[in-house]
Every structure is written in structure tokens, then in C-alpha cells.
Structure 1
Amino acid sequence: MAESDLMASSTITCSLCVEWLNQQKSVIKKTKCKTALLELVRNEFRDLFLKITGEGLHLKLLVNNLTMHKKFITEGKATINFSESKTIIYISNAPTSNLILFLKTVFIKMTSRKSSPKVPLREQFLSNKPNIIQEISPINVKDVTRVKKDIVVDVKKLENRKKRQIQETEKNNEKFKKQCSSNIVSLLSLTEEQNRVLNAVKEGHNVFFTGSAGTGKSFLLRHIINSLPPDVTVATASTGAASCLIGGVTLHSFAGIGSGEGSLEKCLQLAERPQIMQNWKRCRHLVIDEISMVNGWFFEKLDKVARRIRKCDKPFGGLQLILSGDFLQLPPVCQDSTAVRFCFQTTAWKYCNLITFQLKQVHRQSDPDFISMLNSIRIGQITPEIAEKLVKTGSQTIGGNGIQATRLCCYTQEANLINATNLDNIKEEPKEFEAVDNGSGNSKMLDELTPVPKKIVLKVGAQVMLLKNINVAKGLVNGARGVLTKFVNGLPVVKFLITECTVQQSKWVVRLSSGNIISRQQLPLRLAWAFSIHKSQGLTLDCVEMTLAQVFEAGQAYVALSRAKNLSSLRVIDFDIKKVWANPDVLNFYRKLTIFEKKYSYINQFIPLGPNHSNKRL
């Protein structure tokens, strides 16, 4: 755990509304504060207080017997009810990860038995100690361990209550303390190189971070988004599938200028629509994932639109840019061969003064030989040894337990045809599942922003893929493959490689650039005999096969091959060394980044090849 993050767990900056109640619980006074600082502190008698300051607001509330309401915590909102002082605080526009960590810290410090015994009231009055307010010590491993072991129900206080009530209270406390300890650890689980990116974002720099497949770019980006105030942060991506992974919207949807192919004046007319203009003006932090698939000319047009709409001549109208992507993977679709294709080739990119980071630590694969192979394929360098290993995979058997390998196709139409044909060939009764979408008229947008369709048709024997993490410990994660064995109470039972389970409906929540929330509830499954390479970005597949004969883009073969965990779970049919190449402009861009790293040795890094293995320089 980083010390700075642990210290930050006792403070948070947010918008605040405070209400004071009377005996009848009616509001007698109310005040709002756009920017407030909340600090967890102790006095000289070890009493725990929440200190609130900001815009004429100065409060110190005793942390004891309080109630937290966290239903909308993912939106940066929470409520804390101080019953003893009859005060309620409503927190909003708080960075999500900071808010979660702050509330967990309050709980741990409040329930910790390590605290000193309470000083009697008489001694407090007679004490000649000065009124000292001290910051609480940061959470450490001992605190978390103590919460796991020492939070128990005080049975003596519940002697007159029913045994069932006591057991229920113990059960709830046990559940919550596990959530506290696990969430705190997970919130602070970034690697050293990922933390450097996060710190640069927190310092307000424009940032671009890149890295090969499996280096945790999406994981880091979600953490960055959760560390920023949600009301002024817009998370976007170049495609609907990518935007869903980070809980955002497409870049085109936020920009509001359509395809952007019209003149600048036409784009400005579209962007000046009231709702679109409001989105642009409210935004302070613009996140763009898969920036590598954004056309260079579109990026430049966005810069010009942002400057005009926000009436600021700084790059992108003064917005902080957080860009993520790998230009050595799938490139943007470009019909005009004379147009600027990549964002890094534009003048807008140059003037954004982006601080660039290359993530080097691979998390998807652990085999150093396979990682080394993928690194070579990424830059289009195929040695005879690599080609021989890939050709040999064509004859190996993968999958098992009735689970077939997913075929990755170069075209979406081909993948859809394979899935439809295989489903029709199964002589079982089909069962249709229709999604429940909130609000009318959102279905088309949710089709684009979520990985699940409005309707899913399944049969016993269908090959399916899980589209959400259900149980990580059992291997039930996004991308897990299985076969549908039966229906129980109307729900599909799927046999995966490791375990079998009944798959229930899940909910996908999408926050639009306007701030509105829409959602879809559907089975987290899709047919998986075949998948397009384009739709596979971001996935880790436990058994995958592909034919690379129809590859038509630089980086396409690399994206397909890097979905596999290792060589033993991969089968390549009709391998052709001519179908693996990298774009020379992109190679030159990355070569310059590498030269910069070597010139400034303090950021020169190694490529970790997995746990317990030696490293190699780039």
C-alpha cells in the first residue's frame, strides 16, 4: 500500500450539504458547500471526530453511532447520519475510489478496539491539556488485520435480545468487515508504474499511457476515473465495446458533432446545441480510451470545437486529457488515404504537451517465452523460431469437457454467420431472453454501450462466453468459456472449464455525458463459437483458435494472438508470416518514445516477463 494513498484515506474533498434536525427529525437548518474538506481527526482524549471546513462552514462532529448510506457511491455520493448530534451530511461529486476508501477508513477507525479507553467526562473537564486536534494515523496492515479478527458483536449488551437477532447482527458485521478489508486492499493494488501514471493525472497533467496487450491499461483507466470528481469527468472511448469496459460513452456521443466529416462550421452548429454545449462546458477531465482507433483528423476537429465552445484557446479548451491506447494494435478506419490517420501525427497532439508513459509489466500472460513472442509479433518481427511455434499450435487439441475453442474472425459478419449456423444445427428447443432496459428509447444506445444484446437466444449445447466477473476465485470471469447443459427454473446452467454454475441476470449501468444514468439487465452471456477480432479487444480467452489468412490491417494478428493466456490454449490455422506486420509510422513513433526513455535514464525501465523471471530491456 502506498503511504500517500493511505494518508489520503482520512481526508476527502467533495461537495457537501449539511442538515440539522430537531427532536421530531425535521430539518431546522440547512447549508450547502460546493467545495468542502472532510478530515478524520482525534482530540487529546483520543475521541474521533469528522472535521468539516469550506466556504464559511466549520464543523467538528463526533464519530460515534453514525449510519452510512452508500447506495449511490459509484456516482460519488453518500450520506452520513450523526444520530447523537442530529446532523446529516450529504456528500456529492467525490472521486469514487477516494470516497469508498474514506468511508472504509471511518468504519475501521470507529470500530477498532486498539483505541485507548475512553476518558471519563470528569477527567476531561479537570484536564489542563490544551484542546489539540490531531490527524489520525494512516491505515496499515495491522488495522486491516485487526478489523478481520477483532470486530465482534458485544454479546453482553445484547443479553436481553433474541438469539436470532444476535446471530443476524454477527453475520452482518462479519460480512461488512470482510468488504472493508478486501476493498481497501484492492483500491490500493496498483503497481509502481501504474501509480506513476495516476500521480501525474492527480497533478493535473495531460497524460497518454500506452503498453502492449495485457499490461492493465483498462484496469488503470478505471482506477483513474474513480479518482476524479464524477460531475466534471467524462469517460469516453473510440468504440462502444471499449466505452462499456470503463463505464463511459463513445467519444462521438460526447462530442455531439456526428461523424465529424462536415465542415468546422457545421460541426460547431451541432456542438452548440444546448445539451451538447453544456456537456462540453461542464467537463474538466476528458478521458479517451483506445485513442489509437480515433482518426487523426477527428482528433484535430475536436480540439478546434472544444476551443470555440469553451471560449479558451488552450489545447482542447483547457480540458485535462487522459488518453490510453496502443497504436500497435488495431488502427482507426480511414477511407481517405490522404488524410492524417493517427492522432500522434497531428499538431493538436503536439500542443497538448502530453506526458507519455509506457506500461511494461504484463499481467495477462505469465509465460516469459510467450510474452517475448508477443512482444516481437507486436512490432512485426517474426523469427523462424516464432513462426515454427505458431504453426505447431495448428495441430494441438484445446478446450475440453465439451467446450470448444472460440474462433476469432477478421470480419464481424463471418463471426455472426458461424454462431447462427452452429445454433441452428442444435436440435433442441430455443429459449429467448429479453433484456430489461430502464426508460424508453434507450435500447439502441444500450446496444452500443453494453456487451449484451437486447435479445439472446440460447439452446442446450450452445457454446457461450461469460461477459462479466461472477466469481474470480472459481475462474468465472469476463471471457470464460462454457457449454450450456440445461435450464433450471428458466435460467441457463453452464459448464465452464473449472466449474458449473447457474447464470443469473446481471446489470450494466451506463453514465451518459449529460450525467443521466441508463441501465440494462440481461444474462451476461453471448454465443461464442466465433468472435470478431475487433470485438475481442480487452478480453482474455481461455481457449481460442484463429485463421490469419484474411488479416487486412497492421496489428490485427497481434490483437488476436494476444487474447490467449499461453501457447497451450491457442490454435493457429493456416499461419502465414506475411500477415503479421506493424505500421511503419507507428513503429517510428514508438521508437522515438524509446529513445526518449533511454536518453533520460531516470525513466528507463525494464519489461517484466512475469513473476520470478529475469527482465529484458526494450
Structure 2
Amino acid sequence: MENENVLSCSVNIEWSNSQGIIQRKLAHKSAFLRLIRSDVREIFVEVTAGKSVPVKLQLKGISVHNKFMSEGKASIKFQEVHCIMFISNAPPSQLFTFLKTVFVKMTGEKSASNSNPSLRTQLLSNKPAKFEEISPVTLGEMEKAKAKISKGTDTTPSPLSRKRKLSPREGGKPLSSKRLYASSPTPNEPLDIEQKEVMEACLSGRNVFFTGSAGTGKSYLLKRIIGALPPDVTAATASTGVAACHIGGITLHQFAGIGTGEATLERSIELASRPGTYTIWRRCKHLIIDEISMVDGAYFEKIETIARKIRRNDQPFGGIQLILCGDFFQLPPVSKGKNPIKFCFETEAWSRCHLSSYELKKVHRQNDDEFIKILNCVRIGQIPEDMATKLAETSRQNIEKNGILATRLCSHTAEANTINESKLDALSGEKQVFTSEDSPPHLKKLLDQQTPIPHKLELKVGAQVMLLKNINIATGLVNGARGVVKSFEGDFPVVQFRNREYTAKPERWCIKTATGAMITRKQVPLKLAWAFSIHKSQGLTLDCVEMSLGKVFEAGQAYVALSRAQSLDTLRVLGFKASQAWANKKVLDFYRSLNLQMETMRLIPLGRKENKPTIKKTFKSNSKLMSKPLITIN
């Protein structure tokens, strides 16, 4: 469990005079911030780094800038002493927790700071101060801070920002306080036991590969891992653009800087030695790769060699910690020409990395035990007759509701596009066109590749659509929810979803470039959904889906398609046959070997304590800060 009172980060502190001229600077590339309290109950932040003398700054009359928490950046301005502290390279989740603790503790100190000093305070004021770490935030303090936020107290933004008229969306509440109190830059649901094991392994510095069937929370856990690592030295990548966008990262090809990887090794090393790419490779300490199953084995070997050459380090990947995530039973690498598919686990590079392997087994997407068992059998291509019959029987189900038709999953993208275009043209009424706002505009093609949202969206009343962003999880407005356009209200489509009506207003998607720059697309979060390709559906949860698997051409395609459904009740499979679902033999052999090793090496008893065995677990695989403050606390 992370300590909410301590933050590891890079720190720059500047002291200036009353005219704003900087008088003194202090910079630490690696430092710890700790919240402490003096014996007269004053709260300080203590900065320690190496053998340097700790610096203590009282948290009084401060302004906190927290807009860039998701990038591990923030600043605290100590107005009374003309000092500002710039925080960078902090693990985003750790930074969020730290600033939230500051906010809650300072909010609780308001009433005390305005009262007259106690007799105890007066008696101790002339003695040397003693400090201790502040106590953890209590439920009472959280509720007290929440109550003050809802009332719009003096913990709201500074006078300058108070003058700004709050939009209806902000609800008249201080945006900054709400941001710190309720909105984490990383997911904040508690991890289960399996996920905690993986998290601990990643934070310990080991090379890790974790896998699991569809819906076991792999991407969710990956976001938590990314949030727990320092961003300046962490590269979050994925094999596809949409998967990279989902975890807030970039594609592996962008990171590697060698294009498609088809050049010779010598030429690829030259490409990776260009100044920008060279710096990225040298700076990286943690390389995360999502959807590893779709990374070609030859490409994986090539970048592993490049990492050693560029970093002048003979360790695997040049000493970079490797965190791999994916399910090899799902979509494989795209085959090039007549060359056979080569998975990453078949390479010598994979074996050299000595990956600690984990498998997540708890399914979060589906709650139906019967459906989960069916999916597990489909995953390995071994479907008993009764399960095949159960899937075939879904062809007679009526899963439509409120005019929402089932999304047809197609094995080919071109087929899905043709269906959507023809269905839209067949509707009567005027077509409404929604064009995205891209920043910068000339990167439209890159945004098309790496975001799920189209640059140009054409809709009519009656159009079947899919929501592409989590808007309100509690009411079912989630990524993958199905709906139908009922009308247009001003410039926005009104969509009837299965459980409620929603006026779809533009949302923002942000992706990083290899150099760390942010590019954005703002668009209505909808896409035509009469049909979707199986490839494009990976990662989605669909609440109304139909498919015919007669044209599947890859191992794992049928499994990916079926596992998009929430339950058997929201699924319709046309003409299902057990022969339509199969697994790659290499993948089956890999998982057999992996599971055998994890089973035989997982539990090693080391003795007994209080009549209970102590267990040691081992794992082995087979082979810009803002210009104005967002929070002011006096």
C-alpha cells in the first residue's frame, strides 16, 4: 500500500524577493517529499535528497497547480515566503494521492488557523520544533473536505480565477477542488489479489509478462502500473494505435523509431541513432508493451538488439525493465506475405529477458458463470457439444431493445464499412456531419490511426451508433454502449441507449507522440455501429452484438468476437459450429509450458510459524505548468 504522505519525484525550488527576482535555487533530480506536522500542529512539506540537508516549507498560504497531474507534474506556490516548488517525474497516482492529502489536511486546518493560539501553542513556541509524519487521512476528514467543496468555501481558486464564470457543466463548483478530490488521472478501483501480485512485481523492477483471458482487467491493471511509475523514464506502448490510446501511450513502432522494422539490422540501428530517437532509448528505464500477442517476433528481436546497441549495455533490452501484457490466444501478429507467423515467445530475446509470468483468472467483463466457462473453452479451441449447442441456440434470441439493433461483428473491416455506409444511405432525412477539432490539424492521419473516433462523422435520425468513451459508468454510458439517434438538439445528436437518453456533446482524446508532445482530437464520441470489424472491437464490451463466424480466417478471431459480449442474453450467433473456433498450436504449447512451470514453482514452503506455513512465491517463464493557480489555500 502506497504511503499517501510521501512522494518520490524531481524537484526544483525557487525563492525570490518581493519584486519577483529569483534569489536562490535548489534542484534535485531524485527527491522525496514528506508531509510532517510540528508539535504546534503546523503542517510542513519536507524535501530530502541524498545527503543534502532537508528543506522544510510550511503549508500556509499556498497555491497548488495540478492541471498536469497525469504527466507527473504540479507546482506549489508558498506565497508568504515568495517560494515556488516545481514537481516533475512523479508517478501520477502517487502525485494525485499526495496532493489530495495536502488538500484534505489543509482544509481541515482552516478553522484551527483562524482561532487564537492555544495555551500549549504559546508555551511551546519558544522551544525547538519537533516534527512527526502526519497521520493518514481519515474518513471524517474526507467527508469534511467534501462538505466544504460542495459549499464553495475559501479553499476555492484564487481571486483571479473566481472572476471566471463557471460553465453549467462545472455546476458552479470549484473545478480545482473537485479535480483533486474526486478525479484521479489513473483508475482508482481497488486491485484484486492477482492484480496486486503483478503490481508488486512491476514495482520491484523485475521483467514481467502478465496474461489472462478477455475481460480479466489486463488493460485496467496496466493503467494502474503506468500511474505508479515515473513518467519521464517510462514508455507506455502498444502494438496498435487504438490500444496505445486506451492506455495513454504511443505505438511500439513510434517508440522504436525504426519504421515498420523491415530494414536490415544495420539500417535499423542507424535509424534508432538519430538524435530524437537516441534520446528516447537512452532515457527509458521502463518499457511497457500492451497487446504483445500482435507484435511480430522478428520485430521484437530486432528492437531488443537495438536497445543493447544504443544503450551500450549487454543486458536484455539494454537494462530496460520490460512489462509485457497480452493474451496470445487472441489476435496474432499480422502475417507478412508467405512468411509464417512468429510469436514473441518463440524468440531468443524473449528467453533472455527472464520474464516473471502471471495469469489473471478473475473475469470482470462477464458475470454469467456459464458464459465464462464457454468462453474459456472457445479460447483454447476445445468446445464440448453442449456448449456448441448453447451458442447455436442464441441465433433465435431477440436482443433488440428501444429500437437499438445488434451490432454485427465482421471478420473483415471492408465488410463492416460497406454495411454501415449502405444502412446510413438507406435512412430518410437530412444527414448531419460532425468534423473533429484536431490539434495540431496537420496530424489528422496520425489521429485517425491512434484514436477510435473518426475525423468525419455522418449521422441521421435512426442511425445505429456506439459510444466510444466512458461518460457515466453508473448509468451504463460506457465505452461500447449501443444506441440509436433519436433527434438533433442544436448541434448535438440525442441518442437513445438501452437504459437512458443522452445528448452527445464533443469529448476530447489525447495521445502522446514519441517525443512526449500531446496531440488531441475533439469529437462527438459516437461511431456508426450497424457493423464493426472483429479487429476494431478488441478491448470493447458490447451490450448488444450479433455475429456469423463462417468467414473467420485466424486463430483467436472467434474468441475475440464472442468475448466482446456481456452475456449470453445480449449475444446472437448465427450458424455457429465448433470448427469455427480454434487456437494456434504454438500458443497452446506455450501456455501448457507456462502453466506447468507456474504450478510447479509457485509454492515453496519455507517453514512454519504459529502452526501456519510460510509461503514464498516465485515465478518463472519459459523462455508546462499552468499560468494561474487551480487551488488556493490560505
Both structures adopt the same fold (TM-score exceeding 0.5): yes
Cα offset, 1:598, TM superposition: 2.2
Equivalent AA in structure 2 for residue 137 of structure 1:
S
C-alpha separation in 1, matches of 2:175 and 2:557:
48
Does the CA contact (< 8 Å) of 2:215 and 2:363 recur in 1?
yes
User: Equivalent residue for 2:90?
Assistant: 94
C-alpha separation in 2, matches of 1:456 and 1:282:
39
C-alpha separation in 2, matches of 1:313 and 1:91:
33
Cα offset, 1:202, TM superposition: 1.1
Alignment of 1:99-498 (within 5 A): 99-112=95-108, 120=117, 123-124=120-121, 126-127=123-124, 131-149=129-147, 172=173, 176=177, 180=181, 183=184, 187=188, 189-335=190-336, 341-498=342-499
Does the CA contact (< 8 Å) of 2:555 and 2:584 recur in 1?
yes
1:35 aligns with 2:27: no
Does the CA contact (< 8 Å) of 1:236 and 1:289 recur in 2?
yes
Equivalent AA in structure 2 for residue 136 of structure 1:
I
Task: Please tell me the root mean square deviation across aligned C-alpha atoms, in Å.
Answer: 2.9
Q: Match for 1:50 among 45, 48, 69?
A: 45
Does the CA contact (< 8 Å) of 1:96 and 1:229 recur in 2?
yes
Does the CA contact (< 8 Å) of 1:480 and 1:542 recur in 2?
yes
C-alpha separation in 2, matches of 1:422 and 1:145:
51
C-alpha separation in 1, matches of 2:411 and 2:10:
48
C-alpha separation in 2, matches of 1:138 and 1:602:
35
Alignment of 1:549-564 (within 5 A): 549-564=550-565
2:477 is paired with a residue whose SS is: coil
Change over 3 Å in CA distance of 1:339–1:316 after alignment to 2? farther
Does the CA contact (< 8 Å) of 1:104 and 1:184 recur in 2?
no
C-alpha separation in 2, matches of 1:110 and 1:554:
57
Does the CA contact (< 8 Å) of 1:541 and 1:564 recur in 2?
yes
1:222 is paired with a residue whose SS is: helix
Equivalent AA in structure 2 for residue 269 of structure 1:
E
Q: Residue deviations 1:168-201, cap 9 Å, x none?
A: 9996369836952575996362222112111111
Does the CA contact (< 8 Å) of 2:92 and 2:186 recur in 1?
no
Structure 2: segments with no counterpart, 5+ residues: 606-634
Q: Match for 1:72 among 44, 60, 68?
A: 68
C-alpha separation in 1, matches of 2:192 and 2:17:
49
Q: Residue deviations 1:130-185, cap 9 Å, x none?
A: 63221122234444344345778699999xx9xx99xx999636983695257599
- Bigger shift: 175-184 or 551-560? 175-184
C-alpha separation in 2, matches of 1:458 and 1:141:
47
Does the CA contact (< 8 Å) of 1:153 and 1:170 recur in 2?
no
- Bigger shift: 187-196 or 236-245? 187-196
Cα offset, 1:311, TM superposition: 1.1
User: Equivalent residue for 1:600?
Assistant: 601
2:67 is paired with a residue whose SS is: coil
User: Equivalent residue for 1:81?
Assistant: 77
- Bigger shift: 546-555 or 264-273? 264-273
Q: Residue deviations 1:65-111, cap 9 Å, x none?
A: 32111112221111111222221111111111111111001111222
C-alpha separation in 1, matches of 2:186 and 2:111:
22
User: Equivalent residue for 1:506?
Assistant: 507
Cα offset, 1:129, TM superposition: 6.5
Cα offset, 1:334, TM superposition: 1.9
Q: Match for 2:12 among 13, 17, 20?
A: 17
C-alpha separation in 2, matches of 1:413 and 1:264:
34
Percent of matched pairs sharing the same residue: 50
Does the CA contact (< 8 Å) of 2:236 and 2:287 recur in 1?
yes
Does the CA contact (< 8 Å) of 1:209 and 1:324 recur in 2?
yes
User: Equivalent residue for 1:612?
Assistant: none
1:172 is paired with a residue whose SS is: coil
Does the CA contact (< 8 Å) of 2:187 and 2:223 recur in 1?
no
Does the CA contact (< 8 Å) of 1:101 and 1:187 recur in 2?
no
C-alpha separation in 1, matches of 2:89 and 2:459:
42
Does the CA contact (< 8 Å) of 2:187 and 2:224 recur in 1?
no
C-alpha separation in 2, matches of 1:414 and 1:503:
27
User: Equivalent residue for 2:545?
Assistant: 544
Does the CA contact (< 8 Å) of 1:340 and 1:346 recur in 2?
no
Does the CA contact (< 8 Å) of 2:435 and 2:456 recur in 1?
yes
Equivalent AA in structure 1 for residue 511 of structure 2:
V
C-alpha separation in 1, matches of 2:345 and 2:110:
54
Cα offset, 1:59, TM superposition: 1.6
1:322 is paired with a residue whose SS is: strand
- Bigger shift: 290-299 or 222-231? 222-231
2:54 is paired with a residue whose SS is: strand
Cα offset, 1:441, TM superposition: 2.4
C-alpha separation in 2, matches of 1:76 and 1:174:
19
Q: Which has the higher contact order (CA 8 A, sep 6+)?
A: 2
C-alpha separation in 1, matches of 2:579 and 2:153:
73
Cα offset, 1:586, TM superposition: 0.8
Does the CA contact (< 8 Å) of 2:210 and 2:324 recur in 1?
yes
1:386 is paired with a residue whose SS is: helix
